[in-house]
Structure 1
Amino acid sequence: MSAQRPTAPTSDTSIDGVWQIALGELDLKMGIKIIEESVDKVVATMPVEGNRQSFGLLHGGASLAVGEAVGSWAAVKHASTMGKSAVGVDVSATHHKGAREGLITITATPISLGRRMASHQVVIENEAGQRLCTLRITNLIIDIKK
């Protein structure tokens, strides 16, 4: 199976040459909403309800999925300033605390923004501002199809 190259952002997903986030199918199913987006920070929210495991807690896989999405969006925003895109190559997470209800906030900030790689820290917090999970994601900066 060969990897597909991302296509160039269309004019409706780009403002001033910087890619604008477009939610995918999983993002919509998880109830993710974009709050803020820039090369310096991407912030999103997601409800715990609908994303819980069988014991009633926020599913760790949901935390990883939303964290990877937000971190990757941040990397693509950076890459788009160079006319490129980004693909994830590594993600790791530490779960600190559980959640049973409410809205979580997911914030990605850069650790390192290079020409070939971008690394971000992603923090997931509950409504009280308590840290639930910390992720680190590294994305490879790649050329895009024109």
Structure 2
Amino acid sequence: MAHRDWTIELGELDVKLGIVILEQSPERMVATMPVEGNRQGYGLLHGGASAAFAEMLGSWAAVLHAGEGRTAVGVDLNVTHHRGVRSGTVTGVATAIRLGRKIASHEVVVTDEEGKRVCTARITNLILDEAAD
């Protein structure tokens, strides 16, 4: 299945989170996000920021997979937080688990600057035909 070849336009939340795309394809998406500005009250990276980061990576990979005239919408996201991080930048890598005609699933691993796993997520997206304007 041919995939879209474009530069991702970040959404408002993605911009607020400071996400920077490094690599994009249906099979593998890589991006970074700063910890500063995305911390909770205890000074740790907010779990919701990690979840939003993971969802962005998996969803865009699914949209790229969907192809012309189609789109993808998230139907399931689960995130396991393994360790806290207080500063620096985290890197997220979304790897395709299954790229089907109707469903795309990705595993997203977020690591700190030392390569230690901060969280693991799995996202499943439903592939839909885009509505005509």
Q: TM-score by structure 2 length?
A: 0.93
Contact 1:20-1:77 at 8 Å conserved across structures:
no
Q: Which residue of 2 aligns with 1:57?
A: 44
1:46 aligns to 2:33 (yes or no): yes
2:88 to 99, 102, 111: 102
Structure 2 segments unaligned to the other structure (5+ residues): none
Instruction: For residue 102 of structure 1, report the CA deviation from its aligned partner.
Output: 0.3
Q: Secondary structure at the residue paired with 2:83?
A: coil
Letter in 1 for 2:92: I
Q: Which residue of 2 aligns with 1:4?
A: none
Contact 2:80-2:120 at 8 Å conserved across structures:
yes
Q: Which residue of 1 aligns with 2:75?
A: 89
Contact 2:4-2:65 at 8 Å conserved across structures:
no
Q: Which residue of 2 aligns with 1:141?
A: 127
1:132 aligns to 2:90 (yes or no): no
Runs of 4+ deviating beyond 6 Å? none
* Distance in 2 separating the partners of 1:65 and 1:129: 20
Instruction: For residue 20 of structure 1, report the CA deviation from its aligned partner.
Output: 3.3
Q: TM-score by structure 1 length?
A: 0.85
1:28 to 2, 8, 15: 15
Contact 2:4-2:64 at 8 Å conserved across structures:
no
Q: Secondary structure at the residue paired with 1:70?
A: helix
Q: Secondary structure at the residue paired with 2:94?
A: strand
Contact 2:63-2:72 at 8 Å conserved across structures:
yes
The number of residues matched between the two structures is 130
Structure 1 segments unaligned to the other structure (5+ residues): 1-15
CA offsets, 1:29-87, max 9 Å, x none?
1100001111221001000000000000000000001111111011111012x531100
Letter in 2 for 1:109: T
